[in-house]
């Protein structure tokens, strides 16, 4: 094997130093550090396994460590507070389970970026672009984009396998593991199904027309984002702690409502967000032609002229700043933006009311209230 060229790399040892400070809920700051530590130690262990194959595998580990270093750690926070809210003790086992969710998320992001052919993620080159750059820099033979794709598929497969491995390492009692696995399994299958549904919606929405488009887009949000971002992490924590059915039902209601609000905020930021803060180029969602709830609202009440603008501009890979502005105007003028903001508020209200009425520990209630704010008023 050739010596690995000095590609852009983040050593696993520096993971904990590269985490940017962001607003965090009560106690979550300490949790962030503990999650970093678990991930850093786990990646060191995996570096040893990959080393048995070849030292040339190190770019895989670098790609994973880099992506992991940029997370908001929202999913671990929900898992952790779901556990403590149900009376679980603040010990290392739940931090391991929570950290496993970050690996699952990393797998989803790497594969998602390959499927969408995205250029950037968390302000850095997407994983497949990273491997493409490595290929170009080394002057290797064959297609760089194919090398990039393969690198990202494999790195994502590693993260998917490792999320399960880390979960198993947490060390819960067999009955807790069994309850937790049920959630973990449902989360994985529903996310893949939700991603497929998203892709199908993008491909078939023109055929299907605007009728029902809002409902279809909301269904994609539920399965592609709300469940695995918030509902399942909470349920995982709750199940591991042995929460009763009533609390688990409240976690579901809270999680789905907040999860939808979280993704809707993401959609709004994808069009109206500040690229310096979001880490994604302005209008990327528009260039990719994403059929978001925001867009479905716009199409549902567009004038023929406005509909023509969407038809012409949405999904244009060469969309320029003026084109982005034109689509933004349609989203504002049709009332779509206001409609989505109203829906976010409505879902936040449902989440907060459920949280207020749920039978969980007080520190968890307070922390989850803070997480509601963090998830829905964020700018990145």
The site for a copy of itself (CB under 8 A) is made up of 1-2, 46, 49-50, 52-54, 56-57, 60, 107, 111, 114-115, 117, 135, 138-142, 146-147, 149-151, 153-158, 160-162, 164-165, 168, 174, 181, 185-186, 188-190, 192-197, 199-208, 216, 219, 223, 289, 315
- Closer to a copy of itself by Cβ: residue 213 or 247: 213
C-alpha 99/C-alpha 81 separation (Å) is 13
C-alpha 226/C-alpha 295 separation (Å) is 18
DSSP-based three-state secondary structure for 261: helix
What is the separation of C-alpha 111 from the centre of its chain, rounded to a whole number of angstroms?
12
- Closer to a copy of itself by Cβ: residue 153 or 309: 153
β-bridge partners, 120? 125
Q: List, as one string, the DSSP characters of 298-326.
A: HHHT--HHHHHHHHHHTT-TT--HHHHHH
- Closer to a copy of itself by Cβ: residue 56 or 274: 56
What is the separation of C-alpha 34 from the centre of its chain, rounded to a whole number of angstroms?
20
In whole angstroms, the minimum distance from the beta carbon of 222 to a copy of itself comes to 9
C-alpha 224/C-alpha 213 separation (Å) is 16
- Closer to a copy of itself by Cβ: residue 102 or 367: 102
- Closer to a copy of itself by Cβ: residue 109 or 355: 109
In whole angstroms, the minimum distance from the beta carbon of 177 to a copy of itself comes to 8
C-alpha 234/C-alpha 365 separation (Å) is 12
Residue whose C-alpha is closest to residue 22's, from 31, 13, 12, 11: 31
Burial of residue 209 (number of CB atoms within 10 Å: 0-12, 13-18, 19+): exposed
- Closer to a copy of itself by Cβ: residue 59 or 85: 59
C-alpha 231/C-alpha 78 separation (Å) is 8
C-alpha 38/C-alpha 170 separation (Å) is 10
Burial of residue 46 (number of CB atoms within 10 Å: 0-12, 13-18, 19+): buried
In whole angstroms, the minimum distance from the beta carbon of 288 to a copy of itself comes to 10
- Closer to a copy of itself by Cβ: residue 162 or 251: 162
In whole angstroms, the minimum distance from the beta carbon of 143 to a copy of itself comes to 9
CA distances from 192 to 34, 186, 204 (A): 29, 10, 18
The DSSP secondary-structure symbol of 55 reads G
- DSSP E strands, the chain: 120-121, 124-125
C-alpha 353/C-alpha 358 separation (Å) is 9
In whole angstroms, the minimum distance from the beta carbon of 62 to a copy of itself comes to 12
- Closer to a copy of itself by Cβ: residue 179 or 378: 179
In whole angstroms, the minimum distance from the beta carbon of 285 to a copy of itself comes to 15
**Integer distance in angstroms from the first to the last C-alpha of the chain?**
40
- Closer to a copy of itself by Cβ: residue 217 or 360: 217
Do the beta carbons of residue 247 and residue 238 sit within 8 Å? yes
* Residue 258 burial (CB count, 10 A): 29
The DSSP secondary-structure symbol of 124 reads E
In whole angstroms, the minimum distance from the beta carbon of 229 to a copy of itself comes to 15
In whole angstroms, the minimum distance from the beta carbon of 84 to a copy of itself comes to 25
In whole angstroms, the minimum distance from the beta carbon of 260 to a copy of itself comes to 15
- Closer to a copy of itself by Cβ: residue 26 or 50: 50
In whole angstroms, the minimum distance from the beta carbon of 111 to a copy of itself comes to 5
């Amino acid at each position: 094997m050739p010596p690995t060229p000095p590609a852009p790399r983040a050593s696993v040892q520096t993971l904990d130093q590269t985490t940017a400070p962001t607003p965090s809920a009560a106690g979550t700051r300490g949790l962030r550090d503990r999650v970093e530590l678990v991930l850093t130690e786990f990646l060191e262990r995996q570096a040893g396994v990959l080393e048995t194959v070849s030292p040339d595998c190190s770019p895989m580990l670098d790609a994973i460590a880099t992506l992991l270093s940029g997370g908001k750690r929202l999913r671990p926070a929900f898992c952790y507070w779901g556990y403590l809210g149900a009376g679980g003790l603040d010990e290392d086992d739940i931090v391991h389970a929570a950290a496993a969710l970050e690996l699952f998320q990393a797998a989803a992001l790497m594969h998602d970026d390959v499927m969408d052919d995205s250029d950037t993620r968390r302000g850095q080159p997407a994983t497949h672009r990273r491997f493409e750059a490595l290929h170009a820099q080394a002057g290797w033979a064959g297609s760089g984009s194919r090398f990039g794709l393969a690198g990202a598929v494999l790195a994502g497969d590693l993260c998917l396998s490792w999320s399960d491995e880390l979960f198993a390492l947490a060390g819960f009692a067999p009955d807790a593991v069994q309850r937790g696995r049920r959630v973990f399994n449902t989360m994985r299958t529903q996310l893949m199904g939700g991603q497929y549904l998203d892709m199908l919606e993008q491909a078939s929405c023109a055929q299907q027309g605007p009728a029902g488009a809002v409902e279809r887009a909301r269904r994609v949000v539920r399965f592609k984002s709300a469940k695995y971002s918030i509902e399942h992490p909470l349920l995982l924590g709750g199940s591991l702690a042995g929460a009763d059915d009533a609390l688990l039902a409240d976690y579901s209601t809270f999680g789905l409502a907040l999860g939808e609000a979280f993704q809707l905020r993401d959609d709004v930021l994808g069009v109206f967000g500040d690229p310096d803060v979001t880490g994604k180029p302005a209008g990327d969602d528009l260039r990719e032609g994403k059929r978001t709830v925001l867009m479905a609202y716009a199409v549902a009440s567009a004038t023929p002229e406005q509909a023509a603008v969407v038809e012409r501009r949405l999904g244009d890979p060469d969309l320029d700043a003026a084109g982005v502005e034109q689509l933004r105007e349609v989203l504002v003028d049709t009332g779509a933006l206001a409609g989505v903001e109203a829906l976010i508020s409505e879902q936040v209200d449902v989440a907060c009311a459920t949280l207020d009425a749920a039978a969980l520990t007080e520190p968890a209630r307070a922390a989850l209230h803070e997480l509601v704010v963090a998830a829905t008023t964020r700018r990145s």
